[in-house]
Amino acid sequence: MPLLLLSLVKRVHGFSPVLRTRHQQWIRFASSTVNESEEKAALEERIKATGDQIRALKESGASKDTFAPLVQELQELKAQLDPTLAKPTKKTQQPKKQQSSEEESDFITARSVDYSKWYNDLIRVAGLAETSPVRGCMVIKPWGMSLWDRVRTELDAKIQNRGVENAYFPLLIPKSFLSKEAEHVDGFATECAVVTHHRLTADPDGSGLIADPEAKLEDPLIIRPTSETMIWYMFRKWINSHRDLPLKINQWANVMRWEMRTRPFLRTSEFLWQEGHTAHATAEDAVEEARAMLDVYADLCQDLLSIPVVKGVKSPSERFAGASDTYTIEALMQNGWALQSGTSHFLGQSFGNAFDVTFQDQNGEQQPVWGTSWGVSTRLLGALIMTHSDDAGLVLPPKVAPVQVVIVTIPPKKSDGPEVQQKLDATVDDLVEKLRAKGIRVKVDDRDYVRSGAKYFEWERKGVPLRIEIGPRDVQNEVCVFKYRVGDVEKKSVPLVDAPEMVESGLKEFQSALLERANARLQDGIRQGATYAEMKSLLENDEASEYNGPGLFLVPWKCDADNERKIKEECKATIRCYPLKENQEGMHKGQKCFYSGEEATHMALFGRAF
């Protein structure tokens, strides 16, 4: 590109990069967080503005290449107005790099500038997920999927160790099933995807396909938002005697809850999860199961993901629809907001009664059955991102990292003979073999068309815990260079002979250092002794986009759904949980409720939440 043209492009972009980035961010954000009509209006406004920009550039005599990115942006905006119907336009011969600048941008907004933008940028640049042409549904890309697959493998083993067996239940549920449990239907009927037909046919007007009126279902089906109803319908068949109890079933599945405001991983219409469902002979057994699974989830977060959590029980108004008690683990994100990261429900007899499930006890008497259900979802990946990552990109605990060590080879000079390359290759092969023998996930980046610096940035963005650099001179000196993603980030020269041992111990330290750091943040982030007025002034204007927000408030509280609702209205704060530890210790005893001034019944943890 001629220098002048380059400077023009720079000027165009120099004038507008912030603006452009904002537009893109805003559009991406908007497309998943505001309602349809607002979104449309905003898009139309953007389309007009971008069109004006292009016209202005044209009039100023700029070349086609100069404004091609804007044209592309304009096309993308138009496609967003109706992505599903837009026939992709035939590509021109110009390189696509310019066409899809948004998708390929490496720019990450600083957390302090806008935490929400940072989150979306990070998901893009780390290649974790992408929006799809179906509203509210995301595409989980390989790097993100690999994280979830590892969570799945680890958690599945823990679940099976508790004597739970995997099974699979239908995706579709007769809509009448929902109504069987009165609270359950209230909780889910308003966010159901409804299947009404089983065939498409040509539209008589010739314009495409329509749901075939001849293939209308007599009774519509819904896509499962959760499977209690289907599973308890089957439990009725499977439970006869006390010997059939406890019955513990788990399924790994996709579920769908139609959401108007979505954020990747945190809130999407379709998400992946596991849902466990158990049936017991006594209430005590069921409660014990629900609490034991809460411990499993908390341990998973801490041991695998280095995420410390607060274990607690939900207030009555925050319970799962149909539960007697909902246990929760709450994690604290870097912006001071809480993220409910897993729940475990004691269902009492609600679904047992709704589906008429009983068992015959040792004395031949029919007895009611007690239930639990519990789940964690791809939401955990949102918690992972917002616990450890920084302005340079993702930060991954080694145990969950798809790649734990990346080896970047420094290519020999052209003047070096082929034996230099051979010796480098042999050294790297040997190191890789030794690391793999220790069970370490290692990748060699020897792409010859990418500069080393670009590789460093790329793997930092992707959160690989340790980078090892090795070049011809290192081989000669029998050393390599270690660089950790966070913590002790100084480059360090390490004798090759010691490298495998040091990688192993270094990754272990890295894992626990992340947990310690996150734990310190969690402890700092829980404020005690605040008055309601103080909490209100701190929270009422707090936004998700604000980095380092005020955090959580642990306060004495008299359980009261009306007051809870009022507080939510006044400062958008909710009771995240009644923490198990403080409540078991009776910390609230003798204290007055921070809101009503009455005798406190619980210690409550308040905060803003995703």
Residue number, 65 or 165, with CB nearest to a copy of itself: 165
Measured CA to CA, the distance from residue 169 to residue 251 in angstroms comes to 8
Residue number, 359 or 578, with CB nearest to a copy of itself: 359
In 3D, which of 582, 586, 584, 585 has the Cα closest to residue 605? 582
Residue number, 209 or 520, with CB nearest to a copy of itself: 209
Closest separation in Å from C-beta 82 to a copy of itself:
8
- Beta-carbon contacts of 520 under 8 Å, excluding residues fewer than 6 positions away, are none
Closest separation in Å from C-beta 217 to a copy of itself:
9
Measured CA to CA, the distance from residue 489 to residue 392 in angstroms comes to 13
Closest separation in Å from C-beta 242 to a copy of itself:
11
Cβ count within 10 A of residue 307: 28
Closest separation in Å from C-beta 126 to a copy of itself:
14
Closest separation in Å from C-beta 187 to a copy of itself:
12
Tokens linked to 115: 């935490």
Say which DSSP state 411 is in.
Answer: P
In 3D, which of 45, 48, 54 has the Cα closest to residue 72? 54
Residue number, 300 or 369, with CB nearest to a copy of itself: 369
Please report, for residues 11, 31, 36, 46, the alpha-carbon distance to residue 40 in angstroms, rounded to integers and kept in the order given: 30, 9, 6, 10
Closest separation in Å from C-beta 194 to a copy of itself:
4
For the stretch 584-587, contacts whose Cβ atoms lie closer than 8 Å and that sit 24 or more positions apart, written own/partner, are 587/556
Residue number, 18 or 139, with CB nearest to a copy of itself: 139
Phi, psi for residue 35 in degrees, rounded to 5: -75, 165
Tokens linked to 501: 């041992």
Residue number, 53 or 251, with CB nearest to a copy of itself: 251
Residue number, 189 or 559, with CB nearest to a copy of itself: 189
Phi, psi for residue 390 in degrees, rounded to 5: -135, -170
Closest separation in Å from C-beta 441 to a copy of itself:
12
Closest separation in Å from C-beta 170 to a copy of itself:
4
Say which DSSP state 599 is in.
Answer: B
Farthest-apart Cα atoms in the chain, separation: 93
Residue number, 141 or 423, with CB nearest to a copy of itself: 141
Cβ count within 10 A of residue 149: 14
Residue number, 240 or 519, with CB nearest to a copy of itself: 240
Closest separation in Å from C-beta 89 to a copy of itself:
7
Closest separation in Å from C-beta 535 to a copy of itself:
35
Residue number, 263 or 602, with CB nearest to a copy of itself: 263
Residue number, 366 or 584, with CB nearest to a copy of itself: 366
Tokens linked to 186: 């209230």
Residue number, 158 or 236, with CB nearest to a copy of itself: 236
Cβ count within 10 A of residue 28: 20
Closest separation in Å from C-beta 141 to a copy of itself:
6
Which element (helix H / strand E) includes 536? helix 532-539
Tokens linked to 151: 């969570």
Q: Report yes or no: 306 and 518 within 8 Å, Cβ to Cβ.
A: yes
Give the three-class secondary structure for 219.
Answer: strand
Strands 216-223 and 172-174: antiparallel
Exposure letters 251-283 (e unless 16+ CB within 10 A, then b): bebebbbbbeebbbbbbbbbbbbbbbbbbbbee
Q: Report yes or no: 582 and 311 within 8 Å, Cβ to Cβ.
A: no
In 3D, which of 367, 503, 369 has the Cα closest to residue 442? 503
Residue number, 81 or 530, with CB nearest to a copy of itself: 81
Give the three-class secondary structure for 416.
Answer: coil
Closest separation in Å from C-beta 95 to a copy of itself:
6
Reply yes or no: is the peptide bond before residue 174 cis, omega within 30 of 0. no
Closest separation in Å from C-beta 190 to a copy of itself:
5
Q: Report yes or no: 531 and 571 within 8 Å, Cβ to Cβ.
A: no
